[in-house]
């Protein structure tokens, strides 16, 4: 199985996530779309890293850092969503800017 | 005629189809609780693909930290919230054009890698921890600080009093 098919899968995930991010107005739905993009980007990182013997372990180390930071990002955005729901009783991001 | 398919190809097909269909369901499912569940499925499919690329340590870390902790956290948090389906119909056409364009550009751009096989072998925990502690120790320190900051930020936001 060549790296091309892994990269194609990652690009498909990225495109699906991008579509979700552009079309949804709910904060949680936008977070879920961003997480789909993150999963695609992580797969692309590891697919390209697996092609070079020099970069291969570094790709794994970067992936571990990226996963832990993504988990932290989820914690913050869900906290913002909980606070927003308590204040506005809605998750519509348009309400954040007063529309 | 001998039609033998390698087991890794079958696993790749199952994992990639699982990943793409889960990604679609994350975006399109009406319930955010089910959408979060499908994000966990996407994470599990991605972890399978990481094993095929030779990164079992990253795969286990992805399952434990990302699927086991982060996505489960989203799942339990969204249970408390009600969500009306909020779609931006004006942006749908632009979003489809952007997504298809990116898919075409990258599938053509990655075409030279069609014959590039990933290097065999497995990246062990020793390799990764050695790199993190010696070569990328500063990055590890910054990541630890960022995690501590976000933890404080999340607790402060969640405990904030809401004035009536």
Residue closest to B109 by CA, chosen among A33, A44, A77: A44
Chain A (21-50) residues lying within 8 Å, Cβ to Cβ, of chain B: 22-26, 28-29, 31-33, 35-36, 39-40, 42-43, 46-47, 50
What is the residue range of A55's domain?
3-89+91-95
In angstroms, the Cα distances linking B109 to A18, A41, B13 are 19, 16, 22
Banded pLDDT at A98 (limits 50, 70, 90): low
Considering only CA atoms, give the Rg of chain A.
17
User: What global pTM score does this model have?
Assistant: 0.90
B14 close to A (CB below 8 A)? no
Chain A, chain B: beta-carbon pairs less than 8 Å apart: 258
Average pLDDT for A65-93: 87
Across the interface, of A17, A47, A78, the residue whose CB is closest to B74 is A78
Neighbours of B75 (CB within 10 A): 17
Average pLDDT, chain B: 87
Residues in chain A closer than 8 A to B91 (CB atoms):
22-23
Residue positions counted in chain B: 164
Residues A51 and A37: their CA atoms lie apart, in Å, by 22
Q: Write out pLDDT tens, residues A5-57.
A: 999 999 999 999 999 999 988 888 999 999 999 999 999 999 999 998 888 88
Q: Which of A 76-95 lie inside 8 A of B, CB atoms?
A: 76, 78-83, 85-87, 90-92
Q: How many domains, in total, are found in chain A?
A: 1
CA distances (Å), origin A93, targets A83, A85, B21, B83, B145 = 13, 11, 26, 12, 29
Whether the per-residue pLDDT at A75 is higher than 60: the answer is: yes
Among B49, B100, B114, whose Cβ lies nearest the Cβ of A2?
A: B114
Average pLDDT of span A78-97: 82
Eight-class DSSP state of B30: S
Under a CB-based contact definition with an 8 Å cutoff, are residues B35 and B25 in contact?
yes
Q: Collect all residues with Cβ–Cβ distance below 8 Å to B19 and sequence separation of at least 6.
A: A9, A13, A39, A43, B42, B45, B46, B49
pLDDT of residue B120: 76
Alpha-carbon distance B118 to B120, whole Å? 6
Taking only the tens of pLDDT, chain B with its 164 residues reads 667 888 889 999 999 999 999 999 999 988 888 999 999 999 999 999 999 999 999 999 999 999 998 888 888 888 877 776 677 777 888 889 999 999 999 989 888 887 788 887 888 888 888 888 998 899 899 999 988 998 888 888 877 766 55
Tell me the pLDDT tens digit for each residue of B133-148.
998 899 899 999 988 9
Give the pLDDT of residue B151.
Answer: 85
Yes or no, beta carbons of B92 and A31 under 8 Å apart: no
CATH number at residue A54: 1.10.287.3510
Residue B2: per-residue pLDDT: 66
């Amino acid at each position: 199985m060549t790296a091309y098919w892994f990269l194609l899968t990652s690009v498909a995930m990225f495109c699906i996530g991008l579509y979700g991010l552009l079309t949804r107005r709910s904060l949680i739905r936008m977070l879920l779309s961003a997480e789909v993009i993150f999963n695609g980007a992580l797969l692309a990182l590891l697919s390209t890293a697996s092609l070079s013997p020099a970069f291969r372990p570094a790709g794994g180390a970067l992936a571990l850092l990226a996963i832990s930071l993504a988990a932290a990002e989820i914690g913050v955005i869900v906290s913002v969503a909980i606070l927003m729901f308590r204040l506005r009783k809605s998750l519509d991001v348009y309400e954040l800017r007063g529309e | 005629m001998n039609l033998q398919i390698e087991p890794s190809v079958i696993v790749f097909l199952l994992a990639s189809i699982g990943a793409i269909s889960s990604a679609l369901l994350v975006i399109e499912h009406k319930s955010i609780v089910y959408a979060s569940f499908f994000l966990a499925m996407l994470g599990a499919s991605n972890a399978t693909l990481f094993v095929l690329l030779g990164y079992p340590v990253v795969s286990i870390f992805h399952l434990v930290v990302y699927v086991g902790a982060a996505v489960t956290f989203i799942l339990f948090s969204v249970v408390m919230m009600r969500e009306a389906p909020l779609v931006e119909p004006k942006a749908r056409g632009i979003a489809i054009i952007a997504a298809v364009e990116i898919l075409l550009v990258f599938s053509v751009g990655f075409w030279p890698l069609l014959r590039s096989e990933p290097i065999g072998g497995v990246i062990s925990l020793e390799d990764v921890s050695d790199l993190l502690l010696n070569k990328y120790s500063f990055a590890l320190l910054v990541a630890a600080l960022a995690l501590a900051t976000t933890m404080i930020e999340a607790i402060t936001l969640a405990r904030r009093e809401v004035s009536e």
